[in-house]
């Protein structure tokens, strides 16, 4: 019987890198990434506190551009989203935040609270605690710290707890139709529950021998790569 010496293979590991740009050294070219995820984060133009006199447009994403070692790949989403995470290995996009034109909602004035409350929004998260939802708005200050109602300022917006509605304070109006007309074209983003998934094409990234740089235009990237030894 032939005898063969025992071969010792180098240990295998999968280092993780994350940030706006993922830079790492690869020993070999042509190795696929072990994992690769991209944050999709909505942004807001301008500066200062949003208000009717200082509107700040909200910017969502209808496509994701991944650049790996100077080669860009564009993945069309098919709709505009304001928050989520894209798994480039599987192609699954998990949507966490959506947007709504505030002028498209039905607003009812509640004089006892000097506020308006919207109709039920079917896919908004039913956050159990009022005024704690992660939202953005183009024309109102967002309240997310759970403060008492008496401390909520004019020209503000927040969630209404488990009722799946939004509330607005705007002392210029007491009629819901007038408010909706004034808010046409103004947007708010909100957390959805349950999250939604969209199957998109995956993006295969193969390493270069030496320095690699991987990033996306929608937010931070996290990757893990193959390392021997």
Q: Which of 57, 58, 70, 94 is nearest to 21 (CA)?
A: 70
- The reported pLDDT for the residue numbered 10 is 73
Q: Give the predicted TM-score (pTM) of the model.
A: 0.90
Q: 160-198: per-residue pLDDT in tens?
A: 888 999 999 999 999 999 999 999 999 999 999 999 999
pLDDT for residue 7 is more than 70: no
pLDDT for residue 24 is more than 90: yes
pLDDT for residue 8 is more than 90: no
Q: 92-151: per-residue pLDDT in tens?
A: 999 999 999 999 999 999 999 999 999 999 999 999 999 999 999 999 999 999 999 999
- The reported pLDDT for the residue numbered 9 is 65
Question: What residues are paired with 188 via a beta bridge?
Answer: 100, 137
**Tokens read off for 32:** 């696929």
Strand 221-224 to 16-19 pairing = antiparallel
Q: 45-100: per-residue pLDDT in tens?
A: 999 999 999 999 999 999 999 999 999 999 999 999 999 999 999 999 999 999 99
- The reported pLDDT for the residue numbered 6 is 58
Q: Do the Cβ atoms of 141 and 155 come closer than 8 Å?
A: yes
Name the band, by pLDDT with cuts 50, 70 and 90, for residue 224.
Answer: very high
User: How far apart are alpha carbons 37 and 18 in whole angstroms?
Assistant: 9
Q: Do the Cβ atoms of 173 and 131 come closer than 8 Å?
A: no
């Amino acid at each position: 019987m032939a005898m063969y010496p025992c071969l010792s293979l180098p240990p295998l590991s999968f280092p993780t890198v994350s940030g706006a740009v993922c830079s790492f050294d690869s020993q070999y070219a042509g190795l696929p990434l072990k994992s690769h995820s991209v944050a999709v984060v909505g942004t807001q133009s301008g500066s200062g506190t949003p208000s009717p006199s200082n509107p700040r447009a909200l910017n969502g994403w209808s496509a994701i551009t991944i650049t790996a070692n100077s080669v860009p790949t564009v993945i069309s989403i098919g709709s505009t989203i304001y928050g989520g995470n894209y798994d480039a290995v599987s192609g699954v996009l998990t949507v966490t935040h959506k947007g709504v034109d505030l002028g498209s909602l039905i607003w009812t004035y509640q004089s006892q609270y000097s506020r308006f409350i919207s109709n039920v929004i079917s896919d908004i998260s039913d956050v159990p605690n009022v005024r704690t939802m992660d939202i953005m708005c183009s024309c109102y200050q967002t309240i997310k710290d759970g403060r008492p109602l008496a401390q909520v300022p004019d020209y503000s917006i927040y969630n209404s707890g488990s009722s799946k509605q939004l509330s607005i304070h705007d002392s210029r109006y007491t009629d819901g139709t007038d408010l909706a007309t004034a808010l046409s074209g103004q947007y708010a983003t909100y957390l959805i529950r349950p999250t939604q998934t969209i199957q998109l094409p995956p993006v295969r990234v193969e390493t270069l021998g030496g320095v690699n740089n991987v990033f996306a235009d929608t937010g931070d990237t996290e990757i893990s790569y193959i390392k021997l030894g």
